[in-house]
Amino acid sequence: MIVTNDVTKSYGASCVVDGVSLELPQGGITSIIGPNGAGKSTLLSMVSRLMAMDKGTVTVGGLDISRTASDELARRLSILRQDNHMTARLTVRDLVSFGRYPHSKGRLTLEDKDHIERAIGYLDLGALSDRFLDELSGGQRQRAFVAMVLCQDTDYLLLDEPLNNLDMKHAMGMMKLLRRAADELGKTVVLVLHDINFASWYSDHIVAMKQGRVAAQGDVASIIRPEVLGAIYEMEIKVHEIGGQKISIYYG
């Protein structure tokens, strides 16, 4: 379980995340949705210790993230951000093997190699595994980074807009993969998503943020409703039920 208590972050006078207290359930997929500037990515960065909080506490699986050693946390929780600029020139397999660093500190065991091959296979990167990252398309690179955090084999998987750069086919593939990671491997997956239909289709739990606060949270049926979404995004959103799934229509 991930628990945040009164987490706050401000830049100068503007408060980006304003006293957020949340309990994200163990297991399954939780999606964080909300308009631009709602503080979704900032909250995720603070939960994953990439950014310092001004106030508040976060515990992940009972560990206080500001008091636990970083390498201990790296075996429990992994984070992938949307922007992964780096100067290093590495092959896909090199990158994925970095996922084992928290466990083996660079000296790969047979078990590590097993994890690496499995992660490469999961993301369908076998044919690309010896290519350099700078030779790949944005979507392929994104999949390589997801393979890396999957290879890290943590109980908690935090992903900031993992569908960025992905076409429809790969976006669906990514969400199915995360669904499998939650269902078969028992991972707790937390996502920041912009596409509310993907959130509706694949999540167990949705947190909606607005202006640095939690505007609403609950299961899909309680959040994907015209009046709730309309208030969060300040626009008219129709929700239709198609094949048992709630689909939002907001194109005009």
Partner 1 sequence: MSGQSLAEAPARAFSRPAIVLLVLLALALVSTGLFMTLGAKGSWSFVLSFRGKKLLSLVLVAYSVAVSTVLFQTVTNNRILTPSIMGFDALYVLLKTAVVFFLGIGALVAIDSQLQFLIEVVAMAGFSILLFRWLFLGEERSLHLLVLVGIVFGIFFRSLSQLMQRMLDPGAFNVLQDTLFASFATTDPTLLGISTLVVVLASAYGFRMMHTYDVLSLGRAQAINLGVDYRRTVMTILVLVAVLVSVSTALVGPVTFFGLLVATLAHSLVGNSRHRYVLPAAVLLAIICLVGGQTLLERVFAFDTALSIIIEFLGGIVFIALVLRRSAR
Q: Which residues bind partner 1 (CB under 8 A)?
A: 48-51, 69-75, 78-81, 84-91, 94-95, 98-99, 101-102, 105-107, 130, 132, 149, 152
Minimum distance, C-beta of residue 196 to partner 1, in the bound complex (Å): 26
Minimum distance, C-beta of residue 186 to partner 1, in the bound complex (Å): 21
What distance in Å separates the CA atoms of residue 140 and residue 235, rounded to the nearest whole number? 34
Minimum distance, C-beta of residue 52 to partner 1, in the bound complex (Å): 8
Q: For residue 144, give the H/E element and its range.
A: helix 138-151
Instruction: Compare residues 50 and 171 and give the one whose CB is closer to partner 1.
Output: 50
Instruction: Compare residues 90 and 172 and give the one whose CB is closer to partner 1.
Output: 90
Minimum distance, C-beta of residue 193 to partner 1, in the bound complex (Å): 19
Question: Residue 219 class from Cβ within 10 Å (0-12 exposed, 13-18 middle, 19+ buried)?
Answer: exposed
What distance in Å separates the CA atoms of residue 88 and residue 166, rounded to the nearest whole number? 23
Instruction: Compare residues 162 and 220 and give the one whose CB is closer to partner 1.
Output: 162
Instruction: Compare residues 103 and 118 and give the one whose CB is closer to partner 1.
Output: 103
Q: Which two tokens mark 61?
A: 């699986």
Are 160 and 79 in contact by the 8 Å Cβ rule? The answer is: yes
77 phi and psi angles, rounded to 5 deg: -140, 135
